[in-house]
Structure formats: structure tokens, C-alpha cells
């Protein structure tokens, strides 16, 4: 009877498949395996993590990545559910102060030995290193760095404005926007309407006006600094920016407008370096746009740091533990960081990677140089809009103020200052 035979074959096959891991263990060699979750599923982000997975497999590992598409918070909900169920992934995406907060609810892996063996600490910016070793021990590893305040200029809009100089200060920026407006660019500032977008407009304004005030007010939440003159000036600059934006974007992401930006219908975009990857992925060329550090009134680049990272959760299984060590080594590897950043448009975490070679864009070289400069001048600060400066609750309360301010032009800057201070007080 043919049916029985098929069934029997199937049974035998599945028994063999079940026995396979046990067989491997019996051989003595544990095959490294990694269960990982992240939000990176599509576009350049998806391509980059898939490439990382390939490298992991080339080293003999089993790569089990489950992407949770959407915002970071949705990935976090899955992570929370897995942690509560007592089954955390061996490794997950997490970043900024959330690393410290989450490390309190489930045990993490001590990575000190493997980090020391790679000599990694010397080549990571100190502010960034601090975020990844909350209790003094490395439990997470940064993967790539973006600046959230890069300035993208549309070549065609520049032509319309008959301008070729990249703006350095906010005054330059405002001049250029006016020139673009009179040159026929409908909206001198390209924008999206998401909460993070609105947050970025504020943080870029404040950090460009005074990185020191940004540090005390936004990163350290100093009450006096939060009501200081720099905050009011930042809201005033943000109002100018919002007046040059397309009010009709609704809640669309910035990427919706990239074509209008390249066409010169929109002029300048204040966005993270990841927009380069998105622009390239959408088929636009490097001569369509210019990337420069965001406006800074003291002329020296200000770097609003955003870094993606992996945190490692304790697991008992030998194969997962081996996978975690392999993953840690890969993430710190300069060749892997180069591969990853070249796909996504970010810059490597390691400050010793040479970006002069093939495969890097001018924008990336400029970003890396800006980071070096900013670190040297103490002008590298942590991004609020992308959850690097504060925990989610506080960040969201502050962004409420920014997003309302962006959309409601009757709110005066001084009023916004009070609202921001109140929001911080209420969320604490």
C-alpha cells in the first residue's frame, strides 16, 4: 500500500531530524546557535542583518533571527512577553538607557572577558561605552552609530536657490531656506510627521545652539537649564523650521517625501544618517543630494548620537551560550562593522576603522569625521528623539510637547518652555 510506505518514510525522516541535534552533541562539538529578535526586517536594515546572519552561518553557527517589524517599542513588547515567560532570546536589539532599565528585570550575560580579549573598550566613544555597561560590566554591544542631526541638501533645490555653500550655523540655514523659498522651492524643509521627526527638529535646534545646554537640560534634566534661554531659543528656531515644512504630511514617515526632496520640490532635510541608506535603496544617486553635519552655531560639528546595540540574555543551553560568544566577536569585528555600515549608511562604532576606501560615501566619511571632532570638543551628545538620552516614559512625555508645538503654531516658545518643564516633572 503506497500510503503506508509514505507515512513510514515520513516518520523515519522526522525521527532522524529529531535525533540530529542530539547526535551533534554526542560528537562533543556544540554547534553555536543564536536566537535573536530585532525590528530590522526590510530595506537596508533587513539586508544588513541578513548579511550578518550569513557571516554567523559561515562561522558554523545556526542563525535564528525573528524580526518584529514596526517601531522599536513593538519589538520591546515581544521581548517583554518572552522575558515574562522565562524564555528570552539569546540576543536582542535594545539601546540607550533602556539597556540599564531592562537589565534589572532579567539576568544578562557578562561580556567583560570577550570585550577585553578584543581590546574593544579603547576604540569606543566613552559616553557610548557607559550606556552598554550599566553595572560596570559589559552586557550589551553597540553595533552601528548614526547621527540624528545630519543635514541633507537637495542638489536641485540648491540649484533653484542658486546656492552652493553648505550652511554651517542656524543663521546660514535660515538664510538658505529663505533663498530656496524665493527660488521656487515649495517647502524648504522636507519632513515627516511622526513623533520622532518632531523630536529631531527640537534636538537638532537645541544641540546646534548649545551642546552644553543640551547636556545639562536634556541629558541631566537640570531644572534650571530646562527653563533656560537656550531652550526658548531652540523652540524659536524650531518654529522657523516648522513654518518651512509641508503641513499636509499628516502622520506619514519622512521617507514618503524623499522623491519630492530629490526633485527639488523640498530643499533640506534634518534626518539621521540612515536616510542615506533609504535614499540609495530607493534608487537615488549620490549626486542627487549632499550630506553634512547639522547646523552648529559655534561652527564645530555637534553630533547627536544614536547607536543600535545588541543585549545578551542569560541562557542555560550550551549551544546558545556558544552562539552568544560568536555573535559578540562578530559584532566587535571591524570587518563586520564595515560590512554592516556600508549597507545601512551608518558609521562603525569602532573609531579605528578607516573610511577612506571603496564602499564608503562622502556623507559617511563626513559623519565619522564629525564624530571624531565632536568627541574631541565634548560636543557629542545623546539623542533624545531616538531614546538615547532618557528612558521611554520621559522621552515620550517630552516628545508630546515637541509634536504638539510642531503642529500647533499658536503655541509661543516661552509657553513651550513651561510645558516642557511640566512634562518632565509629571513623568518623573
Partner 1 sequence: MVRRLPEYLVIWVPLLLSAAHLISFSIWTIWISFTPSTLIPVSGWVGLRNYNAVLASRNWQIAFDNLLLFGIAFVLLSLITGLLLAILLDQRIRAENVLRTIFLYPLAVSFVVTGTVWSWLLNPSIGIEKLVHDLGWTSFHFDWLVNRDMAIWTIVIAAIWQSSGFAMALFLAGLRSVDADIIRAAQIDGAGPIRTYWRVILPTLWPITITVVVVQLQFAISAFDLVRALTNGGPGIATQLPALVVYDLMFQRNQLGRGAAAAVLMLLILLAVLLPYAAWRYVRRRQAAHA
Binding site for partner 1 (CB under 8 A): 71, 73, 76-77, 80, 83-84, 101-102, 104-105, 193, 198, 246-251, 391-393, 396-397, 400, 403-408, 419, 423, 426
What is the closest distance, in whole angstroms, from the C-beta atom of residue 407 to partner 1 in the complex?
4
Q: Which residue has the cell 562603525?
A: 348
What is the closest distance, in whole angstroms, from the C-beta atom of residue 32 to partner 1 in the complex?
29
How far apart (Å, rounded) are the C-alpha atoms in residues 117 and 130? 18
Asked whether 218 and 206 are in contact (CB, 8 A), the reply is yes
The nearer residue to partner 1, 13 or 426, going by C-beta atoms, is 426
What is the closest distance, in whole angstroms, from the C-beta atom of residue 392 to partner 1 in the complex?
5
Asked whether 187 and 157 are in contact (CB, 8 A), the reply is no
What is the closest distance, in whole angstroms, from the C-beta atom of residue 105 to partner 1 in the complex?
5
The nearer residue to partner 1, 317 or 422, going by C-beta atoms, is 422
The nearer residue to partner 1, 123 or 255, going by C-beta atoms, is 255
Residue 427: all three cell numbers together: 513623568
**Dihedral sign computed on CA atoms, order 350, 355, 361, 367:** positive
The nearer residue to partner 1, 130 or 407, going by C-beta atoms, is 407
How far apart (Å, rounded) are the C-alpha atoms in residues 253 and 344? 18
Q: At what angle do helices 334-344 and 43-58 cross, to 10 degrees?
A: 160
The nearer residue to partner 1, 322 or 397, going by C-beta atoms, is 397
The nearer residue to partner 1, 343 or 406, going by C-beta atoms, is 406
Q: Could you tell me which of 264, 206, 255, 261 has the C-alpha nearest to residue 235? A: 206
Q: Which residue has the cell 523640498?
A: 266
State the first-to-last Cα distance of the chain, in angstroms, to the nearest integer: 72
What is the closest distance, in whole angstroms, from the C-beta atom of residue 309 to partner 1 in the complex?
18
Q: Could you tell me which of 395, 168, 189, 151 has the C-alpha nearest to residue 297? A: 168
What is the closest distance, in whole angstroms, from the C-beta atom of residue 423 to partner 1 in the complex?
8
Amino acid at each position: 500500500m503506497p500510503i503506508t510506505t509514505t507515512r513510514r518514510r515520513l516518520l523515519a525522516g522526522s525521527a532522524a531530524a529529531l535525533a540530529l541535534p542530539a547526535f551533534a552533541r554526542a560528537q562533543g562539538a556544540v554547534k553555536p546557535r543564536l536566537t535573536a529578535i530585532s525590528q530590522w526586517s526590510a530595506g537596508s536594515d533587513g539586508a544588513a542583518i541578513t548579511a550578518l546572519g550569513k557571516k554567523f552561518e559561515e562561522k558554523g553557527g545556526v542563525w535564528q533571527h525573528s524580526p518584529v517589524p514596526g517601531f522599536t517599542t513593538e519589538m520591546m513588547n515581544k521581548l517583554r512577553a518572552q522575558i515574562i515567560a522565562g524564555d528570552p532570546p539569546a540576543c536582542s536589539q535594545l539601546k540607550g538607557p533602556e539597556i540599564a532599565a531592562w537589565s534589572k528585570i532579567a539576568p544578562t550575560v557578562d561580556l567583560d572577558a570577550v570585550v577585553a580579549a578584543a581590546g574593544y573598550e579603547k576604540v569606543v566613544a566613552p559616553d557610548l561605552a557607559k550606556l552598554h555597561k550599566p553595572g560596570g560590566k559589559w552586557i550589551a554591544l553597540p553595533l552601528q552609530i548614526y547621527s540624528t542631526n545630519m543635514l541633507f541638501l537637495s542638489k536641485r533645490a540648491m540649484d533653484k536657490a542658486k546656492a552652493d555653500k553648505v550652511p554651517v550655523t542656524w543663521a546660514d540655514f535660515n538664510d538658505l531656506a529663505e533663498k530656496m523659498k524665493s527660488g521656487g522651492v515649495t517647502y524648504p524643509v522636507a519632513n515627516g510627521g511622526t513623533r520622532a521627526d518632531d523630536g529631531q527638529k527640537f534636538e537638532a535646534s537645541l544641540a546646534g545652539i548649545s551642546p552644553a545646554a543640551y547636556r545639562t537640560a536634556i541629558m541631566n534634566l537640570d531644572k534650571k537649564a530646562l527653563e533656560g534661554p537656550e531652550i526658548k531659543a531652540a523652540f524659536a528656531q524650531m518654529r522657523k523650521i516648522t513654518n518651512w515644512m509641508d503641513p499636509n504630511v499628516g502622520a506619514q514617515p519622512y521617507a514618503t517625501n524623499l522623491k519630492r526632496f530629490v526633485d527639488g520640490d523640498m530643499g533640506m532635510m534634518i534626518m539621521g544618517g540612515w536616510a542615506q541608506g533609504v535614499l540609495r535603496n530607493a534608487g537615488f544617486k549620490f549626486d542627487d543630494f549632499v550630506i553634512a553635519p547639522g547646523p552648529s552655531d559655534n561652527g564645530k560639528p555637534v553630533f547627536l548620537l544614536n547607536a543600535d546595540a545588541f543585549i545578551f540574555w542569560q541562557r542555560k543551553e550550551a549551544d546558545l551560550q556558544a552562539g552568544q560568544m560568536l555573535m559578540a566577536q562578530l559584532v566587535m569585528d571591524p570587518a563586520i562593522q564595515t560590512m554592516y555600515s556600508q549597507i545601512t549608511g551608518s558609521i562603525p562604532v569602532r573609531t579605528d576603522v578607516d573610511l577612506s576606501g571603496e564602499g564608503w560615501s562622502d556623507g559617511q566619511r563626513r559623519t565619522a569625521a564629525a564624530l571624531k571632532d565632536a568627541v574631541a570638543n565634548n560636543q557629542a551628545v545623546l539623542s533624545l528623539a531616538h531614546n538615547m538620552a532618557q528612558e521611554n516614559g520621559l522621552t515620550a512625555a517630552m516628545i508630546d510637547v515637541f509634536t504638539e508645538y510642531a503642529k500647533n503654531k499658536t503655541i509661543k516658545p516661552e509657553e513651550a518652555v513651561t510645558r516642557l518643564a511640566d512634562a518632565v516633572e509629571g513623568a518623573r
